Amino acid sequence: MIKIKTNGEKFKYDIYNIFKLFFTEIEFVSDIDYNYNIVVEKNNLKILYEDVEKVCDFDEQLSDKENIKRSLYNYISDKTGIKLPWGTLVGIRPTKIALNLMNEGKTDEDIVKYFKYHSLTRDDKARLCIKVAKTEEHFVNSETNNISIYIGMPFCPTRCLYCSFISDTIANCKDVVDDYLLALNYEIEAISEYVRDRGLNIECVYFGGGTPTSVNDEQFEKIVNKIYYNFIEGNTVKEFTVECGRPDSITAEKLYTLKRYGVQRISINPQTMNDNTLKLIGRGHSANEVIDKFNLARKMGFNNINVDLIVGLPGEGLKEVKHTCSEVLKLAPDSLTVHGMSLKRGSKLHQNTINNIHMKIAPLEELNAMHEVTSKLSEQLNLKPYYMYRQKNTVGNMENVGYSKVNQECIYNIEMIEEKQTIIALGANAVSKIIFLKENRLERFPNHKDVREYIKRIEEKVEKKIKFLNELYGAK
Ligand SMILES: C[S@@+](CC[C@H](N)C(=O)[O-])C[C@H]1O[C@@H](n2cnc3c(N)ncnc32)[C@H](O)[C@@H]1O
Ligand code: SF4
């Protein structure tokens, strides 16, 4: 545990974030029992560690916040020898910075310099942001009446070790699945009526989770049918995605359902193609099953299949990632999403760490090389980076990048990250976002997280959600 004392009350969150990039357990203390004393002064930062004081003078061109973050980062980086690719940048949406600078007329070189000067970000990461921002620019929404719809299925075949999504295994929820689907149907009908009533244009429909395909074939057909007739038919929807995700939940019947209702984009996610790791992370499917289900979907005519991978899984190093990439290369997916593994609170992996059951995670140099291999894979597949976001507590402080064939970008993913389009989200734990474009304002409206609570209080929730949407679209 790293104990920090500081007089910089206003900057505590920034100080915490920088320490968190290098250390797992951190707490603030107010007494003499500290490891670090961080003293914020008018023109400098003093760092006291083991009776040695280091004074870092502020750069007048930077804000106090930037100066504090930069001083602390440089200090800890020198001490540990660790240099992080994003430097002091901890925000989830770095492409927003690039997009804003582009809109101000800045050149690529200006933007790279900006990232380096303000947050010590490596050139290659800044250039990745620029590349992604240039693709996103063509898609980002600019019309208040354009919306997207998200529908969530909060069940999974098994719970993966690293996952913190509020989803339960389908076996544990047998008694509530039917009721959940009924409540979801109710919400779908009410929101569909609202959308029609207000003349809103649905741009994308995204059915995710959890795992939408974790229910049985019959239940799956009924819910996709409901989504189709309420949101797709008669509308000019550009994109209908279903995140099948777990290969062990995919059947020929479900793929047939998806085809029948015009789903264009699906995900079949290996995370890794190493059977030992798949077992360790509790995925409940083998690498061969990924190949079989992928080939089946191809045979049935799906020509926009995404594959999710995670870099930095426990026990995996460069050799394992190279193997995964060579297997994925053979599958030739149309898009690829690479996630840096994040140690999430609420996951079994995090719980294990707290209980001192440590699993081997690759060191930083190797993690860098592993990400490089996935970036090479995207080039071999002729896929371009089109969206990106970052998560907290990612091993090696990396990013998540979506690559796709040109014109097969997932527009929903872009709208989600850039937050310029209202997304009405349905289902347990789904969070709607309404965007007041003119005021550049965003408001969130969460549904109940707990499935049983969602079922019990659906009518009241829908009523409140409609009132919430009326703030933007006006009451009738
Ligand atoms: C919302 S999840 C649902 C996907 C689907 N249920 C599946 O597992 O295939 C979307 C993606 O997030 C990624 N993910 C989930 N937990 C993660 C974690 N702790 N660190 C990094 N990526 C994670 C995985 O790649 C996963 O496919
Ligand atoms: S990673 Fe996917 S399948 Fe695994 S628990 Fe999370 S949502 Fe469910």
pLDDT in tens, 408-421: 999 999 999 889 89
How many angstroms separate the CA atoms of 191 and 185, rounded?
A: 10
Of 439, 446, 447, the residue nearest 472 (C-alpha): 439
Closest to 271 measured CA to CA, from 392, 156, 130: 156
Distance 285 CA to ligand 1 centre (A): 15
Q: Which atom of ligand 2 is nearest to the CA of 159?
A: 5
pLDDT over 70 for what percent of the chain?
99
pLDDT at 137 over 90: no
* Cβ of 246 below 6 Å from ligand 1: yes
SS3 326: helix
Q: What is the distance in A from the centroid of ligand 2 to the CA of 161?
A: 9
**Substitution site in 310, 348, 359 for ligand 1 pocket (most atoms within 8 Å of beta carbon):** 310
Kindly give the distance from the C-alpha atom of residue 51 to the centroid of ligand 2, in angstroms, as a whole number: 47
The pLDDT, as a whole number, for residue 2 is: 87
How far apart, in Å, are the Cα atoms of 428 and each of 202, 381, 469? 21, 36, 18
Calculate mean pLDDT across residues 431-459.
95
- Round to whole Å and give the CA distance between 39 and 32: 14
284 in contact with ligand 2, CB cutoff 6 A: no
Whose CA is closest to atom 27 on ligand 1? 308
Pocket test for ligand 2, best of 153, 155, 156, 172 (most atoms within 8 A of CB): 156
d(CA 257, CA 50): 65
Cα of 267 from ligand 2 centre, angstroms:
13
**Sheet containing 335-340: which strands, arranged edge to edge?**
384-389, 400-404, 335-340, 305-311, 265-268, 239-245, 201-209, 146-153, 422-426, 431-436, 441-446
Ligand approaching nearest to the C-alpha of 310: 1
pLDDT score for 450: 93
How do residues 254-280 score in pLDDT, each as one tens digit? Answer: 999 999 999 999 999 999 999 999 999
pLDDT in tens, 10-46: 999 999 999 988 887 788 988 778 899 999 999 999 9
- What would the pLDDT profile of 45-67 be if each residue is shown by its tens digit? 999 998 899 999 999 999 999 99
CA of 139 to the centre of ligand 1 (A): 24
Q: CB of 248 closer than 6 A to ligand 1?
A: no
Say what the pTM is: 0.92
Q: Report whether residue 344 contacts ligand 1, using a CB cutoff of 6 Å.
A: yes
Residue 456 above 70 pLDDT? yes
Residue 209 beta carbon below 6 angstroms from any ligand 1 atom: yes
pLDDT reported for residue 157: 94
The full 3-state SS of 396-465, as one line of letters, equals HHCCEEEEECCCCCCHHHHHHHHCCCEEEEECCCCEEEEEECCCCEEEEEECCCCHHHHHHCHHHHHHHH
Q: In this structure, are residues 401 and 371 in contact, taking their beta carbons and an 8 Å threshold?
A: no
Q: Which ligand is nearest to the CA of 338?
A: 1
pLDDT in tens, 212-221: 999 999 999 9
Say how far apart CA 207 and CA 61 lie, in whole Å.
Answer: 46
Atom of ligand 2 nearest to the CA of 210: 7
Mean predicted confidence (pLDDT) in 185-208: 97
Using a 6 Å cutoff on CB, does residue 165 contact ligand 1? yes
Give mean pLDDT, residues 132-141.
88
CB-ligand 2 contact for 362 (6 Å cutoff): no
Residue 167's pLDDT band, with cuts at 50, 70 and 90, is low
How does residue 166 score in pLDDT terms, banded at 50, 70 and 90? low
Q: Is 348 in the pocket of ligand 1 (CB under 6 A)?
A: no
Point out the ligand nearest to the CA of residue 211.
1
Q: Which string of DSSP letters, residue by residue, matches 242-301?
A: EEEE-GGG--HHHHHHHHHTT--EEEE--B-S-HHHHHHTT----HHHHHHHHHHHHHTT
Of the ligands numbered here, which is closest to the C-alpha atom of 344? 1
Q: Is 269 in the pocket of ligand 1 (CB under 6 A)?
A: yes
Which residue, judged by its Cα, is nearest atom 3 of ligand 2? 156
Q: Is the pLDDT of residue 311 over 80?
A: yes
